[in-house]
């Protein structure tokens, strides 16, 4: 076991900040539905869900940019911004159709909630649809603070969204843990001075092990065993 891993296993965080897409929820099918509808409206072919997955993570404008570029029609940033309102109309209409929690997500959230550890959500997804999704999945009660992609002036990997979560929980960087799936999560955590763990199969086009996190877990149920907060994860039936 490496020295960082040993340190994590001996450490009990006072606060945990979670990413949403690819970390706690599988939302790619609904995002692909909205993106493909937008592409079709603009005379472009859509993409399979598997191709959309690595496009997710930089916010709506970035998803639009990646989608059109992959369709062979690159758009400049201004054109992408103009399409954001229409994408949001399309996405809001389907955002909860197929989006669901990843395995162990509810159990782990409940575990840390019961342990008295503060939890927050930090996502680049717009706040309106973020709230819609977490309400529909009945997990909003686990979070004392939720920061969306339009809640602050910047998105991850800028540290401001994560710092806003910490402020909302009354937590210091050195007592906090970030759990995510992408380089944006690592970048935000590093810039904010927060320990970061990644899941291995989220929405990123590169291997999680190459992104510079403090640890990469096999799945969410591993987290309690890698930090000192664990008294044994209780799994729901």
Q: Which residues are catalytic?
A: 19
DSSP lists the bridge partners of residue 178 as 17, 196
Which phi and psi angles does 17 have, rounded to 5°?
Answer: -110, 125
Helix (H, G, I), strand (E, B) or coil at 126: coil
Helix axes 28-41, 60-70, angle to 10 degrees: 60
Which phi and psi angles does 219 have, rounded to 5°?
Answer: -160, 175
Report angle CA 96, 217, 131 to the nearest 5 degrees.
Answer: 25
Cα 106 versus chain centre, distance: 15
Contacts with 162 (C-beta within 8 Å, 6 or more apart), sequence order: 17, 122, 147, 156, 178, 188, 189, 191, 192, 194
Helix (H, G, I), strand (E, B) or coil at 145: strand
């Amino acid at each position: 076991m490496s020295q960082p891993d040993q340190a994590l296993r001996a450490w009990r965080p006072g606060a945990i900040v979670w990413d949403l897409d690819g970390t706690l929820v599988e939302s790619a099918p609904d995002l692909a539905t909205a993106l493909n509808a937008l592409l079709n409206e603009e005379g472009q072919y859509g993409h399979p869900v598997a191709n959309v997955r690595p496009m997710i993570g930089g916010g709506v404008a970035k998803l639009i940019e990646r989608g059109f570029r992959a369709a062979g029609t690159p758009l400049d940033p201004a054109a992408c911004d103009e399409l954001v309102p229409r994408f949001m109309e399309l996405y809001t209409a389907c955002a909860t159709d197929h989006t669901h929690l990843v395995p162990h997500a509810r159990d782990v959230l409940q575990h840390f909630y019961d342990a008295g550890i503060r939890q927050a959500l930090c996502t680049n997804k717009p706040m309106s649809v973020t709230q819609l999704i977490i309400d529909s999945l009945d997990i909003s009660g686990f979070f004392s603070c939720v920061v969306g992609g339009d809640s602050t002036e910047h998105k991850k990997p800028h540290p401001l969204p994560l710092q806003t979560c910490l402020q909302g929980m009354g937590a210091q960087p050195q007592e906090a843990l970030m759990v995510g799936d992408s380089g944006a999560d690592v970048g935000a955590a590093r810039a904010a001075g927060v320990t970061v763990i990644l899941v291995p199969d989220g929405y990123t086009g590169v291997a999680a092990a190459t992104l510079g996190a403090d640890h990469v877990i096999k799945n969410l149920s591993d987290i309690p065993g890698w930090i000192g907060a664990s008294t044994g994860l209780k799994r729901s039936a």
